[in-house]
Amino acid sequence: MSKRTESTGTEPTGKQTEQASPASEASPASQKSQTSQASPAPEAAIELSRRRLLGTVGAAGAAGLVVGGAGAAIAGSAADDSPTALSTIGSTEVAFRPDRAKHQAGITTPLQASGHLIAFDLAPGADRKAAAALLRRWSRTAEELMAGRAPDADTGVALDAGPSSLTVTFGLGHSFFDRTGLAKRRPAALDPLPDFSADALDPRRSNGDLWIQIGADDALVAFHALRTLQKEAAGTARPRWQMNGFNRTPGATAHPMTARNLMGQVDGTNNPKPSDKDFDQRIFVGRDAEQEWMRGGSYAVVRRIRMLLDDWEKRSRHEQERVIGRRKDNGAPLTGGSETTPMQLDASGPDGLPVIPANAHARIAAPEANQGAAMLRRPFSYHDGFREDGAPDAGLLFVCWQADPLRAFTQIQRKLDRGDALSPFLRHEASGLFAVPPAAEAGGYVGQPLLEG
């Protein structure tokens, strides 16, 4: 098996850029790196390994990704780097156990082209010991898969692919703590989300004891990870719900840019950036958290949001832009400038009315309109065919990260629920809240301090 240099990178939510090596300081602007490949040993040539593809990529073309940490750049920030060439996609690797950051991969990692969200319930009779054994198996397997190595008795689904930026992120639901006898160690931040007036939630597709987020830049690599982890749960946990999503493939645009959603809008412009002084404070649980095992972790809110695309697409571009508060072509605020130009919320037009309407989505969700509340949005789009009325069953698998859901998602969503111009075009159909512990220590597994503490 070829020797590798682990890569780091940038732009977690929609912008793929050239990368920085792990030995260098990551910065909001991405840096170039090369991944060196050593000649494989003769016996490695016959191993069932997904990494055989890497020898065909070429050292100079291999690019990497940032793994967590405050050095990663987030979607919504400007980037002038050259796009990642499609020929390098298989070679990109994200470390399961990051060197510098204490956070799990898949939070500040750049958005991948393909993703799966899946929740499990512990099987009857599965206790704390069984849950620990499962998370130990899952952590070991995730580390192998993210390094591009095939597990024992592999199906061969992703045999010819490299790591392809695969990330596997594990979370724990509110009910997990009751099932494992750990209710006293459940964080208060994991209390159930409040009801919102626009919710039409299906309980069968909401919540769960355990949650996994999988992302990769190759659909087969993502499916392979999903299937492998599902099989390893047999006898201990059973799937409760699964959702499959996608984003634009890195290298598909002429230059790196913020992703678009299925409404055609640039989506993620106002995301917090690791270069912000308070980024860690907003996104990751601090050192003074009551539950020590969550320090360095984060909380994920997951929502399946169906978009009423037939209704939306009947609106003119002018109407759509006033609903959002931004231009559709480049994401710039209606008050002018570029995508990253701050909104002038007090600007009025010749008619004396606000240029950005009072109920525009961008205005209501802006941190400056919510006492500075912010969350890191990292969604996938989805399309599950069509409904009985012929309308597309499509929309957003909304995933957002924050240190405290009550001060971030709940505060912002309450305000959106009261008068967001975008709400008539959306249906919130499923919801979940999960505590995502920090990354596993060397030789350990995700959640070990909780389960063995």
The amino acid present at 7, given as its one-letter code, is S
CA distance 413 to 402: 14
Tokens coding 321: 């832009």
Enumerate residues 6+ apart whose C-beta is below 8 A from 333.
Answer: 325, 326, 327, 341, 342, 343, 344, 356, 362
Q: Which long-range contacts (CB under 8 A, 24 or more apart) does 18-27 make?
A: 18/63, 18/81, 18/82, 18/84, 19/63, 19/64, 19/65, 19/66, 19/92, 20/64, 20/66, 20/71, 21/64, 22/64, 22/95, 22/99, 25/71, 26/66, 26/69, 26/71, 26/72, 27/71, 27/73, 27/275
Active site residues: 267
Instruction: Write the DSSP assignment of 391-430 as a string of letters.
Output: -EEEEEEEEEEES-TIIIIIHHHHHHHTT-TTGGGEEEEE
CB 246 within 8 A of CB 382: yes
Radius of gyration of the chain (CA): 21
CB 258 within 8 A of CB 93: no
CB 64 within 8 A of CB 36: no
CA distance 66 to 199: 35
* SS3 of residue 149 by DSSP: coil
